[in-house]
Structure 1
Amino acid sequence: MAVTIQRSNRVTCAARICLEGISLRTLATIIPGIAPVDNLSEFLETVPHREHPGITSLKTVHLPSQLADAAQAVLEKHPVSQLAERTLQISTYLWSRKRPVEDETLRTKAAELEQKFLEKMAPLSAVHESLDPLQVEEQKENLRRQVLAKLRKTTYHWQPLNYDKELSLVYMAARMNGVYAAVSRAFHEIKKRVPEFQPYSLLDFGSGTGSVTWAAHQAWGESLKEYMCIDSSSVMNKLADLLLRGGSESSPSHINAVYFRQFLPVSPKVKFDVVSSAFSLNDLPSQAERISTVQTLWRKTGSYLVLIESGTREGHQILMEARDVLMGAKVSRESRSGIVFAPCPHDLPCPKFAQKTILPCNFTQAYHPLPYTSKQDLKLEKFSYVILQKGEYKGIERSWPRIIEPVLRRPRHVHCHLCCSDGTLQHAVITAKKHTKDLYRCARSSNWGDRLPVSNLETEKESENVSESDNLPST
Structure 2
Amino acid sequence: MASRSYGVCVLYQRAVVVKIMCRGMSAAAYPQSHVDFLKGEPHRKHPGVTNLKTLRLPEELQMAAQSIIHRAQVTRLTDRSRSLTNFLWSRKRAVEDSTLRQKALTLEKELWEKAMEKKEDIDEETLEDRIRKKVFSELRRTTYRWTPMKFDEELGVVYMAARLAGGYAAVRRAMNEIKKRDPSFAPQSLLDFGSGLGTVVWASHSCWGNTLKEMVCVDSSGPMNTLAERLLKGDDENAEPHIKQVYFRQFLPVSPKVQFDLVVAAFTLSELLNGTEREETVLTLWRKTNSYLVLVENGTKEGHQMLMEARDTLLKKKEKTVYDNRPASVFAPCPHEMTCPKLVREPVTPCNFQQMYHPLPLPGHNERQTEKFSYLILTRTEPAETETEGVDWARLTAPVQRRSRHVHCRMCCPDGQLQHLVLTARKHSRDVYRCARSSDWGDQLPVIQRADDDIQSDSE
Q: How high is the TM-score relative to the length of structure 2?
A: 0.89
Q: C-alpha distance in 1, partners of 2:326/2:313? A: 9
Q: Is the 8 A contact 2:297 2:303 kept in 1?
A: yes
Preserved contact between residue 399 and residue 440 of structure 2 (Cα < 8 Å): yes
1:153-194 CA-partner distances (Å, limit 9, x unpaired):
111111101101111110011001111000000111101111
Tell me what 2:308 maps to: 320
Change (3 A) 1:415 1:14: closer
Question: Secondary structure, in 3 states, of the residue corresponding to 1:400?
Answer: strand
Taking the aligned partners of 1:173 and 1:9, their CA distance within structure 2 comes to 54
Check if 1:444 corresponds to 2:437. Answer: yes
Q: Percent identity?
A: 52
Report what 1:428 is aligned to: 421
Structure 2 counterpart of 1:123, which letter? E
Paired position in structure 1 for 2:19: none
- Residue 232 of structure 1 aligns to a residue whose secondary structure is coil
Q: C-alpha offsets along residues 32-68 of structure 1, whole Å, 9 cap, x if unaligned? A: xxxxxx4x3x543642111111101111010000000
Of 345-354 and 313-322, more deviation after overlay is shown by 345-354
| Among candidates 344, 348, 358, match of residue 358 of structure 1 | 348
Q: Distance in 2 between matches of 1:59 and 1:322?
A: 29
Q: 1:68 to 1:45 in 2, by over 3 A?
A: closer
Contact 1:355–1:464 (Cα < 8 Å) also in 2: no
1:12 and 1:156 map into 2 onto residues whose CA distance is: 54
Partner of 1:97: 91
Does residue 60 (structure 1) correspond to residue 50 (structure 2)? The answer is no
Question: Quick one: structure 1 residues 251 and 330, their matched pair in 2 at CA, closer, same or farther if it must change by over 3 Å?
Answer: closer
Which residue of 2 is the match for residue 201 of structure 1?
189
Query: Aligned with 2:248: secondary structure?
Result: strand
Structure 2 partner of 1:346: 336
Question: Given that residues 428 and 448 in structure 2 are in contact (C-alpha distance below 8 angstroms), is that contact kept between their aligned partners in structure 1?
Answer: no
- For the residues of structure 2 that align with 1:359 and 1:89, how far apart are their CA atoms? 24
Work out whether residues 326 and 336 of structure 1, in 8 Å CA contact, stay in contact via their aligned partners in 2: no
* C-alpha distance 211-304 of structure 1, shift in aligned 2 (>3 A): same
**Partner Cα separation in structure 2 for residue 206 and residue 346 of structure 1:** 28
Partner of 2:258: 270
Q: Give the structure 2 partner of residue 141 of structure 1.
A: 129
Correspondence 1:121-270 to 2 at 5 A:
121-125=115-119, 127-128=121-122, 131=123, 136-270=124-258
Q: Is the counterpart of residue 118 in structure 1 residue 112 in structure 2?
A: yes
* Aligned partner of 2:402 among 409, 415, 440: 409
- Could you tell me how far apart the structure 2 residues matched to 1:338 and 1:6 are? 43
> How far, CA to CA, are the matches of 1:59 and 1:101 in structure 2?
38
- Evaluate the alpha carbon distance shift between residue 156 and residue 462 of structure 1 in structure 2; reply closer, same or farther with a 3 A threshold: farther
Q: Is the 8 A contact 1:328 1:349 kept in 2?
A: no
Q: 1:74 aligns with which of 40, 45, 68?
A: 68
CA gap of 1:373–1:67, structure 2 versus 1, over 3 A, is farther
Q: Partner of 1:28 in structure 2?
A: none
Deviation at 1:79, TM superposition (A): 1.1
Select the structure with the greater relative contact order (CA < 8 A; seq sep ≥ 6): 1
Rounded to whole Å, the distance in 2 between the matches of 1:453 and 1:217 is 31
Q: How do 1:387-402 residues align onto structure 2 when only pairs under 5 Å count?
A: 387-393=377-383, 395=385, 397=387, 399-402=392-395
* Equivalent AA in structure 1 for residue 378 of structure 2: L
Question: Which stretch has the larger CA shift, 273-282 or 349-358?
Answer: 349-358
Aligned residue type for 2:142: T
- Structure 1 gaps of 5+ residues are 16-23, 25-37, 467-475
Question: Residue 35 of structure 1 aligns with which residue?
Answer: none
Q: Matched residues in 2 for 1:228 and 1:72: separation? A: 25
In structure 2, runs of 5+ residues without a counterpart are: 1-21
TM-score, reference length from structure 1: 0.87
1:52-110 deviations in Å (ceiling 9; x for gaps): 11101111010000000000110111111101101110100000000010101000000
Alignment partner, residue 368 of structure 1? 358
Amino acid at match of 2:274: S
AA aligned to 2:443 is D
In the aligned structure 1, how far is the partner of 2:348 from the partner of 2:77? 36
CA 1:172/1:373 → structure 2, altered by over 3 Å: closer, same or farther? farther
SS in 2 for 1:180: helix
**Correspondence for 1:300 among 284, 288, 292:** 288
Distance in structure 1 (CA, Å) of the matches to 2:400 and 2:56: 24
> In 2, are the aligned partners of 1:281 and 1:318 still within 8 Å (CA)?
yes
Residue type of the alignment partner of 1:137: E
Over 3 Å off, 4+ runs = 5-15, 123-126, 328-336, 456-462
**CA separation of 1:421/1:331 partners in 2, compared to 1, >3 Å: closer, same or farther?**
farther
Q: 2 CA distance for matches of 1:248 and 1:462?
A: 58
Partners of 1:203 and 1:229 within 8 A in 2: yes
Residue of structure 2 in register with 1:469 after alignment = none
Deviation at 1:434, TM superposition (A): 2.2
Superposition RMSD on alpha carbons, in Å?
2.3
Letter in 1 for 2:431: D
Q: Distance in 2 between matches of 1:427 and 1:259?
A: 47
| Aligned partners of 2:181 and 2:386 also within 8 Å | no
